[in-house]
Structure 1
């Protein structure tokens, strides 16, 4: 009887001091890493599932449609990253990146196509190659939907304002 109690007591101490506590620490650590580290490829994979969704002024819902900033906002919100809801909100957001430092998931900011004094469009880099990058965005132009475009096309290279990294460091 004494030996049975002794074994039960020893097993209880071993379980509580090694297995249980270490498992809890591991789980907490893993969750913490997920919150602070966002895989840029995941952002692009997630955003590409919306290719073809119709453009809708002031839209931010894949069931109804997106405007450019609504699309960018929707994508980053999925990853718990807060970004402006309006394209004009990107004007003073973060420092501009050099073209050679562009990365997947960075946000490209453009002037309006009629007025070069205001910010009028945003998109997410999905293929980083400096000023020859490609970006995914909700276009009100010919495509009229979420599409991928070339930054070095005449239409966008002339309107380019800056590129910013919105992901947590």
Structure 2
């Protein structure tokens, strides 16, 4: 009789522990779901946390540094949006937007600095104003870090390929 009671108590303790673990999992999944529903302003605010992070070729780690595609990939991944890791892969994704359709959180795609036939740079619009928009990006230029730049500078206007929305389903 005594051993039956011990087995019963052990079963109750184990079952209670299992139920608590299930509740923890449900809370965690719910949090992940909310995290994925972030708005455009939240994405830009998150991106701005990395202003000044050094430019590092092939970088995608805020502790070491970012390149342009590593930065864009890292920011959107935080919100559950999977994007290509290489800037060249952006040539054929997304729908090209007209300047009056640009929104905060859209991605600007640029040709390379030397070669106007390949994609060479990316940024995230942080202030939408058509071709006068401002964007946050990991710059390999003078800044050598994550910085904010105006699209209407000659350097970027001449290299502009397209703007895409990756958030609207």
TM-score range, shorter chain: 0.7 to 0.9
SS in 1 for 2:42: helix
What RMSD over aligned residues (CA atoms) do the two structures have, in Å? 1.6
Please give the secondary structure, in 1, of the residue aligned with 2:56: coil
Kept after mapping to 1: 8 A contact 2:52/2:145: yes
Cα distance, 1:94 vs structure 2: 1.3
Gaps of at least 5 residues in structure 1 are: 1-26
Separation in structure 2 between the aligned mates of residue 139 and residue 36 of structure 1, nearest angstrom: 27
Aligned counterpart, 1:110: 110
Displacement after TM superposition at 1:34 (Å): 2.7
Runs of 4+ displaced beyond 3 Å: 30-33
Residues 88, 120 of structure 1: 8 Å contact kept: yes
What residue in structure 2 maps to residue 18 of structure 1? Answer: none
Paired residue for 1:68?
68
Do structure 1's residue 100 and structure 2's residue 100 form an aligned pair? yes
- TM-score, scaled to structure 1: 0.79
Q: State the 1:37 CA deviation.
A: 3.2
CA drift at 1:38: 2.7
In the alignment of these two chains, the number of paired residues is 141
Does the 8 Å contact 2:36/2:80 carry over to 1? no
Inter-partner Cα distance in structure 1 for 2:90 and 2:149:
20
> Structure 1 residues 34 and 92 mapped into 2: Cα distance closer, same or farther (>3 Å)?
same
